[in-house]
Chain A
Amino acid sequence: MSSVSVKNLEVRFGEHAVLKNLDIDIKSGEFLVLLGSSGCGKSTLLNTIAGLIEPSGGTISIEDRDVTHEDPSKRGLAMVFQSYALYPKMSVRGNLGFSLRVNRVPKAERNKRVEEVARFLQITELLDRRPAQLSGGQRQRVAIGRALVREAKVFMFDEPLSNLDAKLRAELRVEIKRLHRSVGNTMIYVTHDQVEALTLADRIAVMKDGIIQQLGSPEDIYDRPRNRYVAGFIGTPRMNFIGGELLVEQQGVPMFKAEAFGFSLEGYDFEKYPTQASAVELGIRPELLTIVDADHASAKVRATVDLTEMLGAESIIWCDVAGQQIAVLVQGKPGVKPGDTIGMAFDPATASLFDAASGLRL
Chain B
Amino acid sequence: MSKSVGKSVTRVDAYEKATGRAKYMDDLCDRGALVVKILHSTIAHGYVKSIDTTAAEAIPGVVRILTCFDVPDIPFPTAGHPWSTDPGHQDVADRLLLNRHVRYYGDDVAVVIAENEVIAAQAVRALKVEYEELPFVLDVQKAMEDDAPQLHEKYANNILKHTDIRRGNYEEARKEPGLICVEGWYDTPTVQHCHIENHGCYAYEDSGRVVVVSSTQIPHIVRRVVGQALGIPWGKVRVIKPYIGGGFGNKQDALYEPLCAWCSTQVGGRLVKLECSREETFVSNRVRHAIRTHIISYVRPDGTLVARKFEAFSNQGAYASHGHGVVAKGMGAFPQLYPCDNLECDCWSVFTNRPAAGAMRGYGIPQAMFAGEAHIDDICQAIGMDPLSFRRKNLMPVGYVDGFSKNELYHDSFNQCINKGMEILGYEEKLKEYQNQTGPIRRGVGLAVFWYNTAVWPISLESSSCRMVLNQDGSLQFQTGETEIGQGCDTAYSQMVADAVGVPLKDVHVVSSQDTDITPFGLGAYASRQTYIGSFAIAQTAAALRERILRIAHDQTRMPVSNLDLVDGQIVRKSDGRVLKSLGDLAMECLYSLEASEHITAETTAQIKTNAYSFGCSLAEVEVDIPMCKVKLLNIVNVHDCGRLINPALAEAQVHGGMSMGIGYGLSEELKFDEKTGKPLNNNLLDYKLSTFVDHPTLEAAFVENAEPTAPFGTKSLGEPPACSPAPAIRNAILQATGVAIDTCPITPHVLYREFKKAGLIEE
Same complex for A and B? Answer no
- A residues with CB within 8 A of B: none
Residues of B that sit less than 8 Å from A by CB: none
